Amino acid sequence: MSKTAGQTASPRLKVVSAGLTDVGRKRNHNEDSFLIDEELQLYVVADGMGGHAGGGTASRIAVETIDKELRRARESRDNPFISTSNLQDALIPEALRTAVEKACLAIYTAAQEDSRLSGMGTTVISLVVKDDQAFFAHVGDSRAYLIRGELIQQISEDHSLVNEQIKAGMITPEEAKHSRYKNIITRSVGFEEEVQVDVMGVISEPGDVFLLCSDGLANMLEDKEIHELVLQTSRFQDVPQKLIDLANERGGDDNITVIVVQVQA
């Protein structure tokens, strides 16, 4: 949906990124979209649903609307991209939330106007990096991970039926992997007129890697395998392809989309 690789500099930190999407082995069309906007340091993965026409349309509207709304916000009087010294005072989380809400309304409206798109929606995982701060907005089961040295941590929480069952103690994480309900999400962007958006922020350190992906990757690979592959790949730009190749080797049950973003000193 945009450039697939690049780098941008902040006064203290440089950000390098790469992204790729793949149809996988079982589907005949790709309903995922992704966006890399180096100027804003904005990164988005959206996994659409709603059939051949609907899913791809929903994910495309999502990434385009989020980009457009954040560019508009940057030009406004209350520019959220002005640097702040701490996370609590940052305006980017609210700007991200608003952008995802606008995407939700845009998708819902498009579906009302065209019966072929009825019932479409999409997941969204989005990231904005600003100096040493990283902000996320999230709906659905596409994921954000932080890889820091020997650590990999899922930053987003899946809005999915199996995750609700895990939290309620009804099933184990291992059982969730094989559940017939693992593709049912409890929140999506555009299926209804409004959606609740999760936002969060973290302080980043030089060397951190943020990884955004659709469930076509997360369902095929263990977290520790993702971690190992990121650390072992000599050229950072090759990471998305290596991850996609491994997911396809495992069966490639779904469309697979990956963006990796590294913060460098």
CATH code for the part of the protein at 14-264:
3.60.40.10
Note the pLDDT tens digit of each residue in 169-228. Answer: 999 999 998 899 988 999 999 999 999 999 999 999 999 999 999 999 999 999 999 999
What distance in Å separates the CA atoms of residue 106 and residue 207, rounded to the nearest whole number? 37
* Domain definitions of the chain by residue range: 14-264
What does R_g of the chain's alpha carbons equal in angstroms? 17
For residue 206, what are the CA distances in angstroms to 13, 16, 18, 93, 176?
7, 11, 17, 22, 34
231 vs 7, which has greater pLDDT?
231
Indicate the pairing of strand 151-154 with strand 143-148: antiparallel
**β-sheet with 14-22: strand ranges across:** 5-9, 14-22, 256-264, 209-213, 143-148, 151-154
- Nearest residue to 100 (alpha-carbon basis) of 155, 140, 134, 57: 140
Percent of the chain at pLDDT > 70 equals 95
* Total residues found in the chain within this entry: 265
This prediction has a pTM of 0.94
Look at residue 10 in the predicted model and tell me its pLDDT.
Answer: 47
- Is 11's pLDDT higher than 60? no
- 81-88 mean pLDDT: 90
pLDDT, one tens digit per residue, over 53-66 is 899 999 999 999 99
> Across residues 123-137, what is the average pLDDT?
97
